[in-house]
Amino acid sequence: MKANKILKNIVYALLTYLPASMAFYFSLLTFNSFAQGVAINATGTAADNSAMLDIDATGMSPKAGLLIPRMNTTERNFIVSPATGLQIYNTSTNCLEIYVGTTWQIVVCGCTSTPVAAGSISGTATVCPGQNAVLYSVPAITRATSYIWSYSGTGAFIVGSTNAVIVYFSGTATSGNLTVQGTNACGNGTVSADYPIAVNSTAPNITAQPASVATCLGSGAVTFTVTASGGLSYQWQEYIGSWNNVANAGVYSNVTTSILTITNPPAGMDGNKYRCIVNGTCTSSTSDGAATLTVISLPSVTNASTATICSGTSPNITLTSSVPSNFAWTIGTITGSITGANGSSGATINQTLTNPSNATAGSVQYLVTPTSTTGSCVGTAFAITITVNPTPTITNTPLTQSICSGVNTTLVTLTSDVSGTTFAWTASASAGISGFTSSGTSTIPVQTISNSGSTAGTVTYAITPTANSCTGTISNYVTTINPFATGGTITYTDASGLNPRTSPQYSGGYTIHTFTSSGTFTPNCSGNVNILVVAGGGGGGAQGEGGGGGAGGLIYNSSYSVTGGNGITVTVGGGGNGSDNDAIKGYNGANSVFGSLTAIGGGGGGSNSTRPGADGGSGGGGSFASSAPGGAGTSGQGNAGGASCVSAADEAGGGGGGAGAVGGTAIGSPTLGATVPGAGGAGLQYSISGTPTYYSGGGGGGTMRTSPGGLAGNGGGGAGRGNSIGPFNGTPNTGGGGGGGGNNVNAPGANGGSGIVIIRYPN
């Protein structure tokens, strides 16, 4: 036989089933097998190539197993040099054993009864969702060869089958009961009591979020508080670019409690945000992070510390601060007795301050305390000193002067009660005033001012004083420009003395005052004037050959001195009435008076029974009798009246005297066959009124017959009666004498003309 062939003596049992007798027959054969396992079966199938012995009980009846050697432990130990892999059944332990190395090892043990009841489970009763490798154990269970662990909740994975296992809880695990029971080949033991496991999936509940806090810089500690249920621990965080835990250091304390304390946070922490992580058993909750720390810097007043105002005004200071603030102030030091300052509050210091001094400045100190509108933080009081300058006042007295038109004013040097005052003025004038300076400073200069009106005019200088930028009350300095004089009717002529007009005044001409009735001439300035004074003319005589009335006396003075401020009474004489009775002469005219000048009224003309003419400024003419004399005139004012004449043919009166000539004498006229009455004496011509005019002409004499009456003297004398015409009154305001009566009837004489006073001076 070959070396690789194995010779084995195998007993092959052929089992034959005898249904009737239920008896097995064994045929025992001895055979050799080369490299082939032994098969024991009922089918005759060869052994599997991988097996030395292949026993298949399929088809066998009744069934049977393989019985290996059985011995107790003592017997087992008598086996000499057991081969590795040797197997026995140990009847001492009821265990199937195998020899490995140098030791018998139990492969499996048989049981005699089920495990005893499981004891109490120990482990973690509360777990978190997603918690891993949680250890649970139970005391070893007698006769248990394995342990069955069960969990009534979901999401738990149990690893292990001994008396100690670990459990993995998923993130969705639910609470439940854990149980265990021992098991062996005999069956399962009694299940342990339920061990409840709570899967704590509830995070802490924050019931009150931390609130934002505002604090004044340096005012002490502030706190942030979180209120939560279910929280086990706390950790506060601060946000500066990112969220970071804060530690109990520096300004922070109580960082792991529900109340975070920050003591005297600096300004640099303004705007920082804070949140708290509240840690529960398994999960945590975080506050919303909206709590903000506002560190309010203490406000400081940013206004200037000084201001200057004028007395009677308000500083009107709008208060400002480094942060929005409200303000209150008290009053500190006051100098100079300043009034009007009071402690108060508001956004503006707007009090009227008065400096009673006339020369020096005073001051008021306002101590302003700011309080921030956010957080009501109170800053340090800030002093604002208000200097109150006095308001200057013009001290010139009187604030007036008067001049006459065309005369220089007096220099006015302006003064004030405050040193260093400057002045500015503007001038305005009433109508007709010219030659004044319209504006200036410091002084009101000498000016030559003219008044073209007939009444006083003014120039008003509105003077504004200023000192230390304070403007005082405007004072008015008034210069009155009087016309040279007032009184009478005023007219004006040009430089030639002609072309009169009532207004306006000519430049370089004359001003004329005409009095046709009594009044007052008031010179405002002293000087010399031209003056014409004419008295009233005398009235004519009555009856058939009344004499003409004499002209009123005439005085002309080209340089009469008047004194300013001294009014001069002006009397204007009226004309004398003509006689209406032959026994009465014509009446003398009334005198005209101007100061020391008296012009005598003209003499009345003679009448039939009172024949000589009356004396006067100029004499009246004679009447009836042959060569009845005329009245005498006043020297320098007039001339004598003419004599009457009686002839066989007729009778006639003489003419009244005039300022420029004697009255004409009546004469017989062979040519006419009658006596011609005398003409009135001529007057004198003057242009003092602006118009060349004759004044003080005598009245003509009357005639008995039908010849013409005597001619009037030029100068306002009236013509005598003749041919039943006349007589004529003297011209008013010329001083002319009235004409004499005539025509052989009891005809009255005419009235003399009224006088006049005319004053003229250069503009």
Q: Quick check: 672 pLDDT over 80? A: no
What is the C-alpha to C-alpha distance for residues 732 and 467, in angstroms, rounded to an integer? 66
Higher pLDDT, 279 or 8: 279
Q: What CATH number is given for 205-296 in this structure?
A: 2.60.40.10
Contact between residue 727 and residue 698 where contact means Cβ atoms under 8 Å apart = no
Which pLDDT value is given to residue 7?
A: 35
Nearest to 730 by CA among 690, 688, 694: 694
Least confident of 42-56, 246-260, 585-599, 686-700: 42-56
Query: What is the Cα–Cα distance from 650 to 562, expressed in whole angstroms?
Result: 53
Of residues 636 and 19, the one with the higher pLDDT is 636
Contact by Cβ (8 Å): 572, 515: yes
Q: Which of 105-114, 471-480, 488-497, 656-665 has the lowest mean pLDDT?
A: 105-114
Which residue is listed with tokens 């008896």?
23
Q: What is residue 25's predicted lDDT score, i.e. its pLDDT?
A: 38
Mean pLDDT, residues 212-232? 87
pLDDT at residue number 15:
37
Confidence class for position 244, pLDDT limits 50, 70, 90? very high
Q: Where are the domains of the chain?
A: 70-109, 122-199, 205-296, 306-389, 400-482
> Which CATH code fits 306-389?
2.60.40
Torsion of CA 59, 61, 63, 68, to 10 degrees: -90
* Burial per residue of 522-552, b for 16 or more beta-carbon CB atoms within 10 angstroms, e otherwise: bbbbebebbbbbbbbbbbbbbbbbbbbbbbb
pLDDT at 183 over 60: yes
Q: Which residue, 609, 588, 633, 608, is CA-closest to 737?
A: 588
Note the pLDDT of residue 434.
92
Residue bearing the bigger pLDDT, 730 or 92: 730
The predicted structure's pLDDT at residue 35: 52
Distance CA 719, CA 487 (A): 34
The structure tokens listed for 732 are 């008013």
The pair of structure tokens assigned to 33 is: 């097998």
pLDDT the model gives residue 33: 45
Residues 511, 563 contacting (CB under 8 angstroms): no
Q: What pLDDT does 692 receive?
A: 97
> Which of 196, 230, 198 is closest to 126 using CA atoms?
198
Tens of pLDDT, residues 391-448: 999 999 999 999 988 889 999 999 998 988 999 999 999 998 999 999 999 899 999 9
67: number of Cβ within 10 Å: 7
Nearest to 749 by CA among 700, 707, 694: 700
Q: In one letter, which amino acid is 321?
A: S
Average pLDDT over residues 269-273: 94
Share of the chain above pLDDT 90, in %: 67
Q: What's the rounded mean pLDDT across residues 49-76?
A: 87
How far is the CA of 589 from the CAs of 118, 317, 530, 604, 615, in angstroms? 175, 85, 24, 7, 11
224 confidence band (pLDDT: 50, 70, 90) = very high
Question: What residue has token string 């034959």?
Answer: 16
pLDDT reading at 706 higher than 50:
yes
**Residue 202 reports pLDDT greater than 90:** no
| pLDDT confidence band for 377 (50 / 70 / 90) | very high
- In this predicted structure, what is the pLDDT of residue 29? 41
pLDDT confidence tier of residue 669, bands split at 50, 70 and 90: low
Residue 196 pLDDT exceeds 80: yes
According to the model, what pLDDT value does residue 14 have? 37
Give the pLDDT confidence score for residue 746 in this predicted structure: 64
**Do the first three CATH levels of 122-199 and 205-296 match, i.e. the same topology?**
yes
- Residue 337 to residue 362: CA distance in whole angstroms: 7
pLDDT at 219: 87
Q: How far apart are CA 711 and CA 718, in angstroms?
A: 8
Residues linked to residue 195 through DSSP beta bridges, in sequence order: 178
What pLDDT was estimated at residue 28? 40
Three-class SS state of 676 = strand
Torsion-angle region of residue 282: left (phi > 0), alpha (psi -120 to 50) or beta? alpha
Tell the residue number behind the tokens 């001094």, with chain if given.
Answer: 357
In the numeric block, which tokens belong to residue 676?
Answer: 């011609």
Angle at the Cα of 423 (from 417 to 425), degrees rounded to 5?
130
The pLDDT value recorded for residue 647 is 67
What is the tens place of the pLDDT at every residue in 519-572? 999 998 899 999 999 999 999 998 778 899 999 999 999 999 999 889 999 999
CATH topology for 400-482 is: Immunoglobulin-like (2.60.40)
pLDDT score, position 42: 81
Q: What is the mean pLDDT of the chain?
A: 89
* 216 vs 298: CA distance, rounded Å: 6
Q: Identify whether the C-beta of residue 141 lies closer than 8 Å to the C-beta of residue 163.
A: yes
Place of tokens 């006042």: 393
Lowest-pLDDT range, 21-30, 130-139, 409-418, 673-682? 21-30
Long-range contacts of 406-409 (CB under 8 A, 24+ apart): 406/448, 406/449, 406/450, 406/484, 406/763, 407/448, 407/449, 407/525, 408/446, 408/447, 408/448, 409/444, 409/446, 409/447, 409/448, 409/449, 409/479
Higher pLDDT, 7 or 748: 748
**Share above pLDDT 70 across residues of the chain, in percent, rounded to a whole number:** 92
Q: What is the pLDDT, as a whole number, of residue 319? A: 97
pLDDT band at 712 (very low <50, low <70, confident <90, very high): confident
**C-alpha to C-alpha distance for 678 and 521, rounded to whole angstroms:** 39
State in words which class domain 122-199 has. Answer: mainly beta
Q: Work out the pLDDT band at 56, boundaries 50, 70, 90.
A: confident
Within 10 angstroms of residue 247's Cβ, the number of other Cβ atoms is 12
- 476-491 mean pLDDT: 93
Q: Are the C-beta atoms of residues 480 and 400 closer than 8 Å to each other?
A: yes
| Rounded distance between C-alpha atoms, residue 219 and residue 259, angstroms | 19
